[in-house]
Chains A and B, each alone.
Chain A
Amino acid sequence: AQRVTQPEKLLSVFKGAPVELKCNYSYSGSPELFWYVQYSRQRLQLLLRHISRESIKGFTADLNKGETSFHLKKPFAQEEDSAMYYCALGPTGANSKLTFGKGITLSVRP
């Protein structure tokens, strides 16, 4: 079974502080991992995916298969980063669905 765990519900930091949003997954095959973000009063949108290996809005995420983790990181948080962040697994093979974690609220204080 596929499972995504985001162990924290809320992370509150000051502007300029580093950010790490944790994500662990459970999947027996070769996973495809994503981070989706939802800003206030906006729809859910893709932030980044592990296969692209790029930095979006200063965020990066590295897939660690040994630790089954895909943590999202940013060295210097900005107020506009305040949002709800969801880690998601899939689609994989014939399975087209995304499996989401419960999400974490990131609050960046001035």
Chain B
Amino acid sequence: DTGVSQNPRHKITKRGQNVTFRCDPISEHNRLYWYRQTLGQGPEFLTYFQNEAQLEKSRLLSDRFSAERPKGSFSTLEIQRTEQGDSAMYLCASSLDGGGEQYFGPGTRLTVT
């Protein structure tokens, strides 16, 4: 296990298209988090899962965003009808229980043209 992985690393899409990102956490970690980071800002929390249950969602997560973690392992984040404002780095992190040490993936950079 080499840590948290994310695919794709880069995604360029046209406005109005749907995109889906995947995150594979560290295998023994039961918590998985999604963050979004725009230029000049720190990561902003989007949502998190404990096992397969989605326990918290930020107000940043509009109806166009949906996240799943069907078997408590990998997670997907889907953005429907993308807008230019969705352009950002999407980060995934995992942790064991509620510990504050979260292990981050390399991120998926989304560009909406």
Contact with B along A64-93 (1 / 0, CB 8 A): 000000000000000000000010101100
Report A83-110 residues with CB < 8 Å from chain B CB: 86, 88, 90-91, 95-103
Nearest A residue (CB) for B58 = A97
Residues of the B chain whose Cβ atoms lie less than 8 Å from the Cβ of A101: 42
- Bound CA span A43–B107, Å: 8
Residues of the A chain whose Cβ atoms lie less than 8 Å from the Cβ of B50: 96
> Contacts A43-B104, A97-B33; is A91 near B44 (CB within 8 Å)?
no
Check: B48 CB closer than 8 A to any chain A CB.
Answer: yes
Residues of the A chain whose Cβ atoms lie less than 8 Å from the Cβ of B107: 43
> Contacts A43-B105, A44-B91, A95-B56; is A100 near B100 (CB within 8 Å)?
no
Residues of the A chain whose Cβ atoms lie less than 8 Å from the Cβ of B45: 97-99
Q: How far is the CB of B23 from chain A (nearest CB, A)?
A: 13
Chain B CB within 10 Å, residue with most, of A45, A98, A102: A98
Interface size range of chain B in the complex: 20 to 34
A96 touches B104 (CB 8 A): no
Contact with A along B89-103 (1 / 0, CB 8 A): 001000000101111
Check: B31 CB closer than 8 A to any chain A CB.
Answer: yes
Q: How far is the CB of A43 from chain B (nearest CB, A)?
A: 5
Residues of B whose CB lies within 8 Å of any CB of A are: 3-4, 31, 33, 35, 40-45, 48, 50, 55-56, 58, 91, 98, 100-107
Q: What are the nearest 9 A-B pairs in CB distance?
A: A100-B42, A97-B45, A44-B104, A43-B104, A46-B101, A100-B43, A43-B106, A86-B42, A103-B42
Q: A97-B45, A98-B100 are in contact. List 15 more A-B contacts (CB 8 A).
A: A4-B42, A32-B100, A43-B3, A43-B4, A43-B104, A44-B43, A49-B101, A86-B43, A91-B98, A96-B33, A96-B50, A96-B55, A97-B33, A97-B58, A103-B41
